[in-house]
Amino acid sequence: MKTLDFGKYCVLGLSPMDDITDMPFRTLCKEFGADLVVTEFIASEALNREAEKSYRKMQFGEGERPVGIQIFGADREELLRCLEVVEAREPDFIDINWGCPVRKVAGKGAGSGILKDIPKMIDITAALVRQAHLPVTVKTRIGYDEGDKPIVELAERLQDVGIAALSIHGRTKTQMYRGTADWSLIGEVKNNPRMHIPIFGNGDIVTPAQAVEARRRYGVDGVLIGRGAIGNPWIFEQAQRLLRGEEERPVTVAERAEVCSRHLQAAVAFKGERTAMFEMRKHYGGYFKGLPDFKQFRLPLVNTTTLDEALDILARIKAHYQ
């Protein structure tokens, strides 16, 4: 079986997010310092019926390595069947999503919904590890609800069936994305003397300083950044600088506009103009967060449906703030 030294490669990783962490955005995050990236989650059932969108989600560039393909599902046989398709793409590892809390996923017993049935979770994970020719990793949450947070014991059981690394989001399934991530439990997993696989923490990391503090305070092998990276690929570079004892560098408005333009053009080339223009709306707020007098550009940028018009607006933003 192929192996990967996660401890060597991952200090800062990009957390997978549906319709956000596609190949164009992952490529930018790698350019700006992300050590490890993972695809958007992909339904095993969709892969098995050869759905075009799901196949596109598996695409990645060589410059993204090490890169994982993340799969989800609730049916053991469906998940096992899709392994051949995933491994044919030759990622560096396969990640199982046991963490998504949204109703359309968790309500079917996939994602964090499986935290209601830990034996099933362990059984499926063990079967995938046995059949896979690549390292298998898991991303999950600390538990199902406030009264059910078994992550310390669960981490041991997942390790015992052979996963190569574990990523933990510090919320329960029922919390969704509300409240505060509990990093103390993530730290408890990492500092459990029985644990020897890499442990990555995730949740509420929106600044470079928070990424550095979480890694140092809780001793995790790596920190995954999700929402804090949306429209802000520089968060990885800035956190890497802090880890080296250097100061963050200022990112000019001109650079923001130029990188946003590159991102937009790459997204259009990858997904087509209609889909890319819609999905890029999620990134604009991050790219231009905190700019004074930005209202005159915000609505036109969000509402445009053509690449040429968006590029023109971005050029005007660059000129306006010089």
Active site (catalytic) residues: 100
Amino acid at 101: P
Instruction: Tell me which H or E stretch contains 237.
Output: helix 234-243
- Distance, CA of 45 to CA of 48 (rounded, Å): 5
Phi, psi dihedral angles at 275 (to 5 degrees): -65, -45
Rounded to the nearest 10°, the torsion over CA 179, 183, 185, 186 is 130
In 3D space, the residue among 321, 14, 269, 5 whose CA is nearest the CA of residue 167 turns out to be 14
Angstrom distances, CA of residue 105 to CA of 7, 54, 85, 100: 30, 15, 21, 7
Handedness of CA 108, 113, 119, 123 (dihedral sign): positive
